[in-house]
Amino acid sequence: MPEKFYVTTPIYYPSDKLHIGHTYCTVATDTIARYHRLKGEEVMFLTGTDEHGQKIEDKAKEAGVTPKQFVDNIVEGPQGVKDLWKLMNISNDRFIRTTDDYHVSAIQKIFKKMYDNGDIYKGTYKGKYCKPCESFWTESQLKDGCCPDCGRPVADAEEEAYFFRLSKYADRILDLLENTDFLQPRSRVHEMVNNFIKPGLEDLCVSRTSFTWGVPVDFDPGHVVYVWIDALFNYMTALGYCNDKYHDLDRFWPADVHIVGKEIVRFHSIIWPAMLMSLGLPLPKHVFGTGWLLLDGGKMSKSKGNVVDPYLLAQRFGVDALRFFLLRAFPFGTDGIFSNELLIQTINTDLANDLGNLVSRTTAMSGKYFGQHLPADCGPTEDERDLAGMVAQSRGTFGMIGSFPEEDPRKYDVELIALAAGLRDRYEEAMDALAPHKALEEVFKLIQRANKYIDENKPWLLAKDEANKPRLAHVLYNLLECVRISAVLLTPFMPETCEKIFAQIGAEEEQRTWQSAGAWGLLPAGAAVNKGENLFPRIDMEKELKALEELHAQAQAAAQEAEKAPETITIDDFNKVHFVTAKILDCQPVKKSKKLLCFTLDCGEGKPRQILSGIHEYYEPEELIGKTVVACTNLAPRKMMGLESNGMLISAVKEEPDGSEKLHLIMLDDKVPAGYGLC
């Protein structure tokens, strides 16, 4: 039975198009998944989208579509989440959407289980709410009176709600964090313990009544499940927990590692294990908190207008170069500062100068001096094989690499082979420690050493004398082997490029495997070598920076334009909407809702019409009775808090600096009769 490995990315919140920061986390997870597949393990790599919550409901409303239509477009539509992962060559085995039916009903069962076991109970929530983050906070958790995650203002909140007994699990969570390697890197443990556990873990509010776009609590209509419960359990429902769609829970749970961004470590390392403890379920083995990709010292966000578009970069530099850059330039686990300069510099230095040059010089010289095939006897000597074997056996620690007189060029061979033979073990150690940047560092030590080996051996001089041809062939063979081993280990990072390299050096399937990367001399001496295309042409930094700046400016202008100018509609479209003048006959607050008012209206139809409107924050019901307003009467009926709404009252909307909205009901002169159409 192969070893199994279950790895996940966070499931993305499809409120906007994804940017390079999201891409970073998914590319990293993909590389880890590919590494485990390369080792022959049975891998389950899950990603997906987290589609519920007030922000989505609000954005959909703004866009004039249903929440489901809104998320469908961002997840499945052109340049949507799935498109981006396809472009970036993401090899996920499964994709979960939290709006999938099987997940929704599983969440209802999970919520009920925790209610039945007493860990979820009903109470009243009083506190602060950050709308953009959809997070509730206690006064003591706020930073300068604002949301500790995003720094934006929070609002007072009070509502009847269900709570999860998080406090009950405080000691076990503290023990888990402090005394095991559950949460990595270690620095994240101190953050969690000092910021959240030491101040005291309070019970967590896990239901909402202020909006409807969520998983309904099936035993208490009007409540929807807190989006983080809905989201976190994706890791298990996607394997079949509480549903019949999948049946891999026994095989893959507990997860080997959840890769998550640093701001959601709290949810994954405190709330998630506590809920699993409540249900008596095994905990994931590890949670790894990555850093952020920052820009101009701050986080990328659409509202700041500083997002970096992965489509644009992939189109200009190629998918593999972008994947490579993300993992080479930023130590995994700490913040990194993205810049176009760094991107171009990394491509030029590592990919064009080091890797690209090594491959093109080696294949070009093999072709030039020997045609397509090196001589059959140019492979490794017995001594070289022994040396490589000893290095591999000692897991790279073998120190004695023989002694040759100063003028004997075989000393270069020995150094090169020893480095190559120990590489796979050093790489494995780094990858297993979730340090892909260190694994790349090791591979590039060999690539740089091999380039130096070319300069030391000067093949162009060896080629001048027929008597040196055997030495020349051996030198080129050694170089091809270095290229082969490097390409095997680079495959998880740059799958397409490595395929091309294998084709250029004539490596067959069995010389591309994990096992083969740990052995020296596996490439047949007479393999067919073909110099192919230049893998990574050098980029002119100045020109490219200018081009990128222009493209970025164009894209921003287009986005601003699109935001300013709503899509135009025809007069026929406009005429489809029936606006009429309406007299308010009665107006009552809706039970259990802070926002909704229920209107009884005379719309000149001979019988009263019922419409619900979320304006209780701004008006008291009695002040509205008798007023004349504008109603849209041909909207499809919709149920809210158990009541049917047959249309919509028209209000003016003002966005406040904290992102909230203020509504002003449009009122007409009371002399205007009811039931008049508007044109």
**Site for ligand MSP, rule CB under 6 A:** 10-13, 21-22, 24-25, 50, 231-232, 234, 260-261, 263-264, 292-293, 299-300
Q: Which of 243, 268, 232, 230 is nearest to 111 (CA)?
A: 230
Min separation Cβ 528 and ligand MSP, Å: 43
* Structural contact between residues 29 and 46, judged by C-beta atoms closer than 8 angstroms: no
**Pick 334 or 575: Cβ nearer ligand MSP:** 334
Min separation Cβ 445 and ligand MSP, Å: 27
User: Under 8 Å CB-to-CB from 23, ≥6 apart: which residues?
Assistant: 84, 88, 310, 322, 326
Distance CA 252, CA 675 (A): 62
What is the CB neighbour count within 10 angstroms for residue 619? Answer: 16
Min separation Cβ 493 and ligand MSP, Å: 18
Helix axes 436-457, 357-370, angle to 10 degrees: 40
| DSSP character string of 403-466 | ---TT-THHHHHHHHHHHHHHHHHHHHHHHTT-HHHHHHHHHHHHHHHHHHHHHH-HHHHTT-G
Min separation Cβ 143 and ligand MSP, Å: 18
**Pick 323 or 449: Cβ nearer ligand MSP:** 323
Is the bond leading into 221 cis (omega within 30 degrees of zero)? no
Distance CA 231, CA 480 (A): 48
Min separation Cβ 249 and ligand MSP, Å: 17
The token pair at 191 is 């953050």
User: Under 8 Å CB-to-CB from 434, ≥6 apart: which residues?
Assistant: 32, 184, 257, 288, 332, 333
**Pick 242 or 260: Cβ nearer ligand MSP:** 260
Min separation Cβ 18 and ligand MSP, Å: 7
Min separation Cβ 61 and ligand MSP, Å: 20
Min separation Cβ 186 and ligand MSP, Å: 19
**Pick 38 or 232: Cβ nearer ligand MSP:** 232
Distance CA 26, CA 20 (A): 10
**Pick 26 or 209: Cβ nearer ligand MSP:** 26
Distance CA 350, CA 352 (A): 6
H-run or E-run covering 596: none
**Pick 230 or 442: Cβ nearer ligand MSP:** 230
Min separation Cβ 211 and ligand MSP, Å: 17
**Pick 130 or 231: Cβ nearer ligand MSP:** 231
**Pick 58 or 354: Cβ nearer ligand MSP:** 58
**Pick 70 or 599: Cβ nearer ligand MSP:** 70
Distance CA 81, CA 261 (A): 18
Distances (CA, A) of 475 to 459, 470, 679: 8, 9, 85
Q: Which of 155, 162, 165, 168 is nearest to 124 (CA)?
A: 162
Q: In the complex, which residue's CB is closest to ligand MSP? A: 261
Min separation Cβ 256 and ligand MSP, Å: 16
Residue 624: helix, strand or coil by DSSP? Answer: helix
Distance CA 672, CA 629 (A): 10
Min separation Cβ 289 and ligand MSP, Å: 9
**Pick 130 or 523: Cβ nearer ligand MSP:** 130
**Pick 26 or 581: Cβ nearer ligand MSP:** 26
H-run or E-run covering 489: helix 469-490
